[in-house]
Structure 1
Amino acid sequence: MERARAPGTQGDPERLPGRRELLAGAAAAAGLLLLGCRGETVDVRDQAAIAAGGSRGYAGPALDLAFWTGFTGGDRGPMERLIARFNREHDNITVRMSVARWGDFYQKLPAAVDSGHGPDVAVLHADQLATAAAHRTILPLDDVTDALGLGAGDFSRTLWDAGVFRGRRYGIPLDVHPLGLYYNRTVLADAGIGDEALPRSRRDTMAVLEQLKGRGVQGSWVSPALFTGGLMFQSLLWQFGGELFSEDGARATFDSEAGVEALSFMLELIQRGYSPRNVGQDADSIAFTNNRNAFIWNGIWMLNIYGSIPGLRWGVLPVPTIGAERAVWANSHNLVLPRQPASGQGRLKASVVFVDWLSRHSLEWARAGMVPARREARESAAFRRMTEQAIFAEQIPVVRFPPAIAGIDAVRASTLDLAVNEAVLLRAAPREALGRAAREADALLADNLRKFGRTL
């Protein structure tokens, strides 16, 4: 899950600069796609029905399935072990995983699918499903999940709903990866602060940071980058009752009073001296590992990274509730079926066998530092023994995902992320930065509506 990477390389590799427009005219209206150089016409509804047949198992000739992911880091090994086990258990299906950095992956996948050379199965983040669905890069999975008997009760309502775009399902959640509050035990102990003072609320947070400041420690560094400042802002926005965008994808709403309040809180940490100014990329995490920073809002993807550093004493909690309600940013890896050329439709049955198997074995995937999406895995005794993952899992009732709006990731990256950066670097007041970004976002959203149509 290299969406956020190790200190020194963190960032947002999921920029999507090359958005392709939807096919137009009668073919698009009928749900038909002309597939690049092969010139084959495929009805995505027929493909979904064919894929549903995979729930009955695959008894055809031996074949290889191409599985594309962005698991280039510490999550690659656990997935490779899962695939090896699947291959041992299935004589007639061999899965071969290809990996690429997420930024490259999201540019490569649609081009490969359109040329008729895409993978059989892939992994997409929940916030990328809408764009991929609008481009018809991936298949609707309603028939598949019905055949597999899957529903919200097998996951959680929030996780399940995150896979829906315009009333149709496009993803089956494999995991959920939210932010958490990491704390450095050495820094706190040196300041005479025990576990009873660990922050759960705004009052707790300010009290412990003031105590740390009295001992000469700037205890909560605020990053101007998406990882982790931008994700912290989104969590705070939801905690203060705000939303990123309108439900129909027509308007930015992050410049609301809730947004101003959220960004103002981040600035308050700097202005009160709890964070240095001009925190560089990854400097908050590097300071944490060097026992110079007490707290960091960071993702579950850091569990294995921090756990591998000799001598680093740390723990994790749910993010504190700074606003009026509990909420935390999260994302989710989803299993998807890319559109296939007519000649490859028979492979869909085998693909569903693999997707179903992988979903049912998500407990083993948790060892990559994830919270498994399947409820039965999260409620197992084996998962509860994964102490830190289980703490992250406590937040599932309050996790929030970016809205299912096609092209929204690119809009956010070129507007909101820049506004947070500008404000945290004290170059603009929160209201000014967010207002300007919202106006720019509205123009981009209008362009999205012309390309993709309304979300609702």
Structure 2
Amino acid sequence: MTRRRFLAATGLAGAGAFLAGCGGGSQSPGAEPAQGDGGASGYEGPNVELAFWNGFTGGDGPVMQQLVDQFNSEHPNIAVKMTVMEWADYYQKIPTAVQSGNGPDVGIMHIDSLPTNAARNVIVPLDDVAEALDLKQEDFAEVVWSAGEYEGQRFGIPLDVHPLGFFYNKTVLESAGLDPESPPTDRQSYEAALEQLKSAGVQGHWMSPHVFTGVLTVEALVWQFGGDLFNADGTEVTWAEDPAVEALTWAVDLVRNGYSPTDVGQDADAIALQNGQSAFNWNGIWHINTLKEVPDLEWGVAPLPNIGGTQAAWAGSHNFVLPRQRSADENKQQAARVFINWVSQQSLAWAEGGQVPARNSVRESAEFQALPEQSALAQQVDYLHFPPPVPGIGDVLADFNQAVNEAVLLTKEPAAALSEAADRASKKLEENRERYGG
């Protein structure tokens, strides 16, 4: 998955409003989720074809297609047909398709999309699948497991985790007299390295004002400084409090102190690292595959430096979902669960495509540890953060995105930008509670 395609997936500030017009809180007649064995016993019914929709248009697409092909070869009475589209199109199409009775049998959703789609009955509970897979909280990092639940029911079967990581250009570090094999790990060493790079004529960390990667960087910093974006149940905005102000101020000071250019363009921070114009870039795990394609580039990746005193990092996650069907087809319901069950057990193959497996056992395996870049970022799994499981949370976070943009572009002071954004977002939270019945 490339950054640009992931941006399309998570840039849907208006998705909540769109979903609000796709049915209320009651379930459709005849669309109750199956209460069988979740696919554990396999499928021995008549031949069925399953429509499987996702947004894997990047390098992860061929990996998933290989898994689908393997599944089909091992299950002659189930034919899974995978349809791939841009994530933005996917999230626009699936509610309408479900409402009209033409939705897919299986889908993939990002973790922050589950609550909104669950609240609007676009997807059905998967507790039976979790039970069939014998999935338990102790099998996963707590944040991964709990994020797939909404109002006491499980709506997502976690496939992977894709965290933010610390990428560095070894050649640039060495040319500035820094150890290319020992990147900074905390605030003191990070700021010292930036100062040494500046003395060598290098702006070491290009601070982006855009969601990718500036906003994700600031979100990680807020958690590192001991703050949060919302309270525990997602009913109040907390990003105007001191830890968030301190975090955003640190990011803005990268520009003010000359460690970053002003007005960094979209993706310019990533390109600067590749071109040797900067040394550091906080970017997503999807950046690994991009850097591997750059000839003769000497680079490394590590967990995010701990700037604020608390280990923390932003992350997303892909989850399997079952879209609601207007007319129940027990054969397809069982076959779909068999498919999810099977792919969930192939997470090492999926990791090789550039992801961190959701399962603890796979992350801890020797085979996964042999993937140096992915395993480096997997070290962060116990302190990753997701948005709270609240419907319409993407609409609310759009205000935080705006605050970061204004502050990094030096058009507003960090405290003022965050405070004004929090006021707007608080109103949205209240409106969403009415809209989604929370």
TM-score, structure 2 normalization: 0.96
| CA drift at 1:446 | 1.0
**Residues 1:32 and 2:27 aligned together:** yes
CA distance in structure 2 between the partners assigned to 1:249 and 1:374 by the alignment: 26
- Which residue matches 2:147? 162
Equivalent position amino acid for 1:19 in 2: L
Deviation per CA, 1:2-38: give whole Å up to 9, x if none.
4x238xx9666541522324745xxx4xx432xxxxx
CA–CA separation in structure 2 for the residues paired with 1:14 and 1:428: 23
Q: Which amino acid aligns with 1:439?
A: D
3-state SS of paired residue (1:123): strand
In structure 2, the partner of 1:385 is 370
Percent identity for Structure 1 against Structure 2: 48
Q: Pick from 383, 404, 418: which aligns with 1:420? A: 404
| Aligned residue among 231, 234, 254 for 1:246 | 231
1:61 corresponds to which of 13, 26, 46: 46
Q: 1:209, 1:160 → 2: CA distance? A: 37
Do the aligned residues in 2 keep the contact of 1:22 with 1:134 (CA within 8 Å)?
no
2:12 to 11, 15, 20: 15
What amino acid sits opposite 2:95 in the alignment?
P
What per-residue deviation string (whole Å, max 9, x for no partner) do you get for residues 56-93 of structure 1? Answer: 11001111111111101111111111111111111111
Structure 1 residues 377 and 255: CA distance shift in structure 2, 3 A: same
Closer/same/farther in 2, CA of residues 343 and 161 from structure 1, 3 Å limit: closer
How many angstroms apart in 2 are the aligned matches of 1:69 and 1:196? 38
| Offset from partner CA, 1:251-288 (integer Å, 9 cap, x none) | 21111111101100001111111111111111101111
Residue 421 of structure 2 corresponds to which residue in structure 1? 437
2:30 aligns with one of 5, 20, 42 = 42
Opposite residue 49 of structure 1, the aligned amino acid is: Q
- Matched-pair contact (CA < 8 Å) for 2:129–2:341: no
Give, as a single letter, the amino acid of the residue that structure 1 aligns with 2:385. R
Shift of 1:361: 0.2
State the alpha-carbon separation in 2 of the partners of residues 16 and 343 from structure 1: 32
- 1:338-361 deviation line (CA, Å, top 9, x unaligned): 111224343110001100110100
Partner SS for 1:304:
helix
Q: Is the 8 A contact 2:403 2:421 kept in 1?
A: yes
Alpha-carbon separation, structure 1, partners of 2:431 and 2:128: 32
Aligned residue-pair number: 435
Q: What is the CA distance between 1:195 and its match in structure 2? A: 3.8
Unaligned runs of 5+ in 2: none
Q: What TM-score comes out, normalization by structure 1 length?
A: 0.92
In 2, Cα distance between the equivalents of 1:362 and 1:429? 44
**Partner Cα separation in structure 1 for residue 8 and residue 412 of structure 2:** 22
Alignment partners' CA distance in 2, 1:421 and 1:409: 16
Q: 2:178 is aligned with what amino acid?
A: I
- How far off its partner does 1:143 sit? 2.2
Name which of structure 1's ranges 354-363 and 157-166 shifts more when overlaid on structure 2: 157-166
Aligned pair 1:310/2:295, yes or no? yes
Counterpart selection for 1:357 from 342, 357, 370: 342
In the TM superposition, residue 196 of structure 1 has moved relative to its aligned partner by 6.0
- Residue range with higher mean Cα deviation, 128-137 or 138-147: 138-147
Task: Give the match's secondary structure for 2:63.
Answer: helix
After TM superposition, the structure 1 = structure 2 runs for residues 250-399 of structure 1, keeping only pairs within 5 Å, are: 250-399=235-384
Q: Distance in 1 between matches of 2:142 and 2:429?
A: 27
* Structure 1 gaps, min length 5: 34-40
Give the Cα separation in 2 of the matches to 1:408 and 1:347: 32
Q: Is the 8 A contact 2:20 2:435 kept in 1?
A: no
SS in 2 for 1:247: coil
SS in 2 for 1:346: helix
Contact 1:173 1:334 in 2 (8 A): yes
In structure 2, do the counterparts of structure 1 residues 232 and 442 end up closer, same or farther at CA, with 3 Å as the change threshold?
same
CA pair 12-357 structure 1, distance change in 2 beyond 3 A: closer
> Aligned partners of 2:267 and 2:434: how far apart in 1?
37
TM-superposed deviation, 1:426: 0.2
Partner residue in 2 for 1:237: 222
- Counterpart amino acid of 1:77? P
Aligned to 1:131: 116
Inter-CA distance 256–293: structure 2 relative to 1 (3 Å threshold): same
- Relative to structure 1, the CA distance from residue 250 to residue 153 in structure 2 (aligned partners, 3 Å threshold; closer, same or farther) is closer
**CA–CA distance in structure 2, aligned partners of residues 258 and 48 of structure 1:** 46
CA contact (8 A) 2:306 2:312 kept: yes
Q: CA offset at residue 194 of structure 1? A: 0.7
Residue 42 of structure 1 deviates from its aligned partner by: 2.5
Distance (whole Å) between structure 2 residues aligned to residue 105 and residue 140 of structure 1: 20
What SS does the aligned partner of 1:341 have? coil
Find the aligned partners of 2:364 and 2:411 in 1 and give their Cα distance: 47
Q: Is the 8 A contact 2:165 2:303 kept in 1?
A: yes
Equivalent position of 1:201 in the other structure: 186
